[in-house]
Amino acid sequence: MLDPSPRKLRRLHRLHRAHHALRHSWRHSLRLRLIVLFLVLAVALTLTFIGGMQRAMSLGWRDAARPLVVDYVDHLVADLGSPPQVDKAQALVQRLPITLRISGPQVNWVSDPAPHAERGWRRHASEGEGDSPLLQRDTADGHHIELGLNLNRGQYQPRRIGWFTLAALLLLTAGTYLYLRRLLRPLDDIRAGARRFGQGKFAQPIPLRGHNELAALAADVNTMAQGLHGMLEAKRGLLLAISHELRSPLTRARLNTELLPDSGEAQPLREALTRDLALMRDLISDLLESERLGQGHSALHLEPTALPALVDEVLAQLEGASAIERQMPASMPLLKLDPSRLRLLVRNLLDNALRHSAQAARPPVISLQAEGLQWVLSVRDFGPGVPDEVLPHLAEPFYRPDAARERSSGGVGLGLYLCRLVAQAHGGQWQVRNAQPGLEVRVTLPPGV
């Protein structure tokens, strides 16, 4: 069996994509379903009405009209004369929408001898075969006369009526589509508004169109969004106020701790207090930073930044960073970043990798490489990793897969959350995966300036 040609494969691929797009539209588009329902209903009603009317009008009409038709045909044949006269036949054909054929010993004449007309005459004659005694007469002088309806005249063509009906149906469908589109437009507004509210953008409410049920639904969604916005703002304000108020007593406590003697029995107490106070300070700083980054791009101070040099600065200040493997390009363009937030991101990623590499056979690796026009910063450790079901939750605030271990190592579950906020605030992408062994975090940054 021969393999299909590339052109046939492309055609099959296009047909498959079109079929998939149609199925997707049918499943997810309420507007398309309503239009198809309207078309099916319109066609069903039309067919039912036409069939019912034809059935009602066809019951007994032939028996009722037969005497009239017989009398009228006899009258027409009598008007032609004996033998039939061609000029009277021509006048009759011009006056009435009929076809006429005369055959006999003296006169042989057809109303229109053209081939297409002859074919049309035969077609109409065959269509009226069941009523041939009504439309055929034999005269006393030996002539045979056949009559039929001339449907070739424009005013008597049913095809035109069919085309006009189809055009009217298409126009009605187009008008219905436009009306449904206008009627269902509030659904698009509600969907767009829900997306905005989900992104934390509450400044623009959903527009209200009309006074129907969809407008009432949009108003209810706006009310719900205002309530959520108020709750979020109250939570943010409370958190910021508490964080700011805690800084002053925390600073005083740290100063008092520094005054304790650093030798003798007080030394272990002094070190424990210093460590706990440092943890509280970092927690408050992370909380404040998370609230600032929650505002998006407005919280950033972008400037051209050499990312490899920034990584080297963080490595120089991080305890235990001498064991980290560094894989950086020899040269790369400057990136438009917020240096302080990128330092926070790199420091948190490296600190997380070091904390989970205590028993690993290989130290963590930080790398920077280009993928198209974007740059990818990657930090990987070779520790035990985490279960796959935990991965989607690692960047959530205060989430700790092992609370006892995180508490003993000083983590509170904000490090990776802040890293994700920094990446998203820069318009980048965040990805975490099990590298087997270990965990790898990839941050995709925008192109250079």
Task: Provide mean pLDDT across the span 408-420.
Answer: 68
The rounded mean pLDDT for the chain is 77
Instruction: Return the structure tokens found at 416.
Output: 């990776």
Find, among 407, 310, 305, the residue nearest to 349 by Cα: 310
Convert the pLDDT of each residue in 354-366 to its tens digit: 888 777 778 899 9
Find, among 74, 142, 136, the residue nearest to 104 by Cα: 142
Instruction: Return the structure tokens found at 208.
Output: 């209200």
pLDDT at 431 over 50: yes
Please give the pLDDT value at position 408.
Answer: 46
CA 421 – CA 338 distance, rounded (Å): 13
Q: Using 50, 70 and 90 to split pLDDT, how confident is the model at 302?
A: confident
pTM: predicted TM-score of the whole model, two decimal places: 0.48
Please give the pLDDT value at position 130.
Answer: 44
Find, among 400, 425, 392, the residue nearest to 290 by Cα: 425
Write the DSSP symbol of residue 129.
Answer: G
Which residue is it, tokens 């904000």?
Answer: 414
CA 413 – CA 51 distance, rounded (Å): 73
Task: Provide mean pLDDT across the span 93-109.
Answer: 87
Q: Lowest-confidence range among 3-7, 188-192, 220-224, 376-380?
A: 3-7
Which residues are 220's β-sheet partners? none
Which residue is it, tokens 């409410």?
Answer: 205
pLDDT at 235 over 80: no
Residue 112 burial by Cβ neighbours in a 10 Å radius (0-12, 13-18, 19+)? middle
pLDDT at 401 over 70: no
Convert the pLDDT of each residue in 309-325 to its tens digit: 998 888 888 877 778 88
pLDDT at 57 over 80: no
CA 345 – CA 445 distance, rounded (Å): 12
